[in-house]
Amino acid sequence: EKQRPERNETERLDREYTLGTWTRQRDFDPTQIVDTEGPRIVTADGDSILDFSSQYVCTSLGYDAERIADAVSEQIREVPYVSPGWSTEPRAKLSEKLADITPGSLKKTFYSTSGTEANEVAFKIARAYTGKHKILSRYRSYHGATAASLSASGDPRRVAQGPEIQPEVPGMIKGPDPYAYGSSLDPDESLEYIDEMLELEGGTVAGVLVEPLVGSNGVLTPPDDYLPRLQEIARDHGALLICDEVMTGFGRTGEWFASTLYDAEPDIITMAKGLTGSYQPLAATTVTEEIGEYFEDNLLNQGHTFSGHPVACAAGIAAIDTYEEEELVENASEMGSYLKSELEALADRHPSVGERRGVGLHQGIELTKSERERVPFEERSDKVSSKQTVLDEVGARALENDVYFYTSVNTIVVTPPLTITEAHVDEAIAALDDALEISDSAMDE
Ligand code: PMP
C-alpha cells in the first residue's frame, strides 16, 4: 500500500469528479501542485520537487518562461480566437519559423492540438499524397491515444483493453526496432526485415512512421546510420518517411530535431510538447514543399476548430524565441554530455543498471536483475497493470529524495527541462544513486 498524506480539498474533489488518464480509477490519487520555480514543481504540502522528467517530456523550458506568459496574455486581449479560415499574425509567423528550423525542404505546416492528432493528420496526408493506405511503424513505439495513432503504436496500451473492446484500425503494420539490448535482431537485421516487409506489401505502404529516438518505450538510441538507411528503404518502396518528433523535437537531443542529428530528411515531421514548452496545447504536422504543392489542386480533407489557435501559436513563437535567445539547444547538448558521463558512472557503481542510452537531454537507464544478461524487473505488460514493480519503487525513492523521474517499461527516463545547470544534474544523480540501492538489492543471486 502506497503511503500518502491525507487528501486536501482539491485532491478530494479531483479524486471524486475527474476521470484519471491511463489508469484504473482506484489508482488515480493525484497530488496537488500549487506552484513552480525554474525546473521545480511545488506540492500543496510545500515539497519542492526537481523535475527530471519535464512531466511527459514536454516542459522543456521549465516553469518560468515570462516571455511566453506575456505573449499569451497579449494575444488573448488582441485576437483570442478566429476560425482557421482567417489569417492571424501568430500563425503566419510560426509557420515561417517552423519552415526555417525544420530540416531539408520541410515547409508547410498543418496545426492541431496534440501529438496524437499531429500523427493522425500525417497519415491522412501521406495517404492522399501517395494514393496508398498502409502505415508501417515499429513495435516499441508510442504515437498517440486515438484510434489510428494508437493502432500505429506498439506500446502495451494498444492491446491493454483487448481487441474485442478496442478494435484496431486496418492498414497499420509493424516491424522490428533497432534495439540491440532487448531484441533478438541486431539493428542491421531489423532494417533488412523492414525492407523485406515493404517488398512483400507490394507497394501498398504510404508511410514509414518512426520516433527517431524512441521515447516512452524505453529511450532507444538507433545506430548513427539507421535513419538515413531507413529513409532510403522507404523511398525505394515509394513510401514517405514520417518522423514523429513529438518528444524529440525542439532541442531535446541537442539539435533542433533528432532527424537533423541523424542526417535524415523526412517527408513529414510531427511535433507537439516542446513546440510551446507545453505552455499551450499545440501540435504541428510539417510537410515538404513538394507535398504542400500537391494539395494546391487536391483537397486537404482535414480541419479542427482549434487548428492554428492564435493564442497557442503566440506561445509557440515566444517558446522558439526563448530556445534561441537563451541558447537552450546548445545547453541541452552541453548538459547532455555531462549527464551522460554521470549516468555512466552510476551504471559502473550499480550492478542493476544494465544499459544507459540516449542523447542530449533525452536519456535513460534500463535496469536488469542479472549482471550477465538482460533480465527486466518490469515486463511490458506491467506498464498497464496495477502491480508495483521494482522500477516503481526506485522512482518512489527518488521522489522521496525530491527528484521526479518518469519510469517506463523497465527504464528510468532522464529528460529534464533544457534550462538545467550542472548543479541540477548533480542533485538528480545523488537522488538516483540512493534510489538504485533498491534495485541492486533486488537482483537475482
Ligand atoms: N508521439 C510521441 C513520440 C509521444 O511521446 C507522444 C506522447 N507521449 C505522442 C506522440 C502523443 O502526444 P499527445 O499526448 O500530445 O497526444
**Average pLDDT over every residue of 366-378:** 94
Q: Which domain holds residue 392?
A: 31-64+328-441
Cα separation, 212 vs 178, whole angstroms: 11
Q: Are residues 381 and 393 in the same domain?
A: yes
Q: Are residues 360 and 274 in the same domain?
A: no
Sorting pLDDT into bands at 50, 70 and 90, what band is 165?
confident
Q: Is 214 in the pocket of ligand 1 (CB under 6 A)?
A: no
Q: Kindly report which listed range (111-125, 165-179, 335-349) carries the lowest average pLDDT score.
A: 165-179
Q: Are residues 147 and 161 in the same domain?
A: yes
**pLDDT tens sequence across 30-79:** 999 999 999 999 999 999 999 999 999 999 999 999 999 999 999 999 99
Q: Concatenate the DSSP letters of all residues of 223-268 into one string.
A: PTTHHHHHHHHHHHTT-EEEEE-TTTTTTTTSSS-HHHHTT---SE
**Average pLDDT over every residue of 394-421:** 97
Q: Are residues 190 and 277 in the same domain?
A: yes
Which range scores top for mean pLDDT: 5-14, 155-164, 178-187? 5-14
Burial 340-368 (b: 16+ CB within 10 A, else e): bebbeebbeebebbbbbbbbbbbbbbbbb
**Which ligand 1 atom lies nearest to the CA of residue 115?**
12
pLDDT at 2 over 70: no
Q: Kindly report which listed range (82-96, 175-189, 282-296, 354-368) carries the lowest average pLDDT score.
A: 175-189
**pLDDT tens sequence across 310-344:** 999 999 999 999 999 999 999 999 999 999 999 99
2: in domain? no
Q: Is 115 in the pocket of ligand 1 (CB under 6 A)?
A: yes
8: in domain? no
90: in domain? yes
Q: Is 282 in the pocket of ligand 1 (CB under 6 A)?
A: no
| Look-up of cell digits 506540492 | 43
Q: Kindly report which listed range (11-20, 166-175, 192-201, 358-367) carries the lowest average pLDDT score.
A: 166-175
Q: Which of 325, 350, 384 corresponds to the end of one domain?
A: 325
Residue 384: per-residue pLDDT: 84
Residue 354: per-residue pLDDT: 97
Tell me what percent of the residues of the chain surpass a pLDDT of 70: 99
Give pTM, 2 decimals. Answer: 0.97
> Do strands 48-51 and 403-404 pair parallel, antiparallel, or not at all (unpaired)?
parallel
Sorting pLDDT into bands at 50, 70 and 90, what band is 164?
confident
Q: Are residues 258 and 225 in the same domain?
A: yes
CATH number (domain holding residue 128): 3.40.640.10
Q: Are residues 111 and 142 in the same domain?
A: yes
Q: Is 247 in the pocket of ligand 1 (CB under 6 A)?
A: yes
Sorting pLDDT into bands at 50, 70 and 90, what band is 380?
confident
Number of domains within the chain:
2
* CB-side neighbour CA atoms (13 Å) of 61: 28
Cα separation, 383 vs 80, whole angstroms: 40
Q: Which of 267, 296, 325 corresponds to the end of one domain?
A: 325
Residue 372 grid coordinates: 550477465
117: in domain? yes
Average pLDDT, the chain: 96
Residue 1: per-residue pLDDT: 46
249: in domain? yes
**Average pLDDT over every residue of 70-99:** 98
Q: Are residues 341 and 355 in the same domain?
A: yes
Q: Are residues 73 and 198 in the same domain?
A: yes
Q: Are residues 267 and 342 in the same domain?
A: no
Q: Is 272 in the pocket of ligand 1 (CB under 6 A)?
A: yes
Ligand 1 center from residue 440 Cα (angstroms)? 32
417: in domain? yes
Q: Which of 301, 325, 349 corresponds to the end of one domain?
A: 325
Q: Is 216 in the pocket of ligand 1 (CB under 6 A)?
A: yes
1: in domain? no
Q: Kindly report which listed range (123-132, 179-188, 204-213) carries the lowest average pLDDT score.
A: 179-188
Query: Which protein residue's CA is at the shortest distance from atom 12 of ligand 1?
Result: 115
ipTM above 0.90, yes or no: yes
Ligand 1 center from residue 250 Cα (angstroms)? 14
From 53, 58, 113, 116, the mutation candidate for ligand 1 (largest count of ligand atoms within 8 A of CB) is: 116
Cα separation, 428 vs 40, whole angstroms: 12
Q: Are residues 223 and 298 in the same domain?
A: yes
Q: Are residues 415 and 307 in the same domain?
A: no
Q: Are residues 100 and 207 in the same domain?
A: yes
Ligand 1 center from residue 58 Cα (angstroms)? 10
pLDDT at 280 over 50: yes
pLDDT at 428 over 90: yes
25: in domain? no
Which amino acid does the sequence have at 35?
Answer: D
Query: Which protein residue's CA is at the shortest distance from atom 10 of ligand 1?
Result: 143
CATH number (domain holding residue 58): 3.90.1150.10
**pLDDT tens sequence across 115-153:** 999 999 999 999 999 999 999 999 999 999 999 999 999
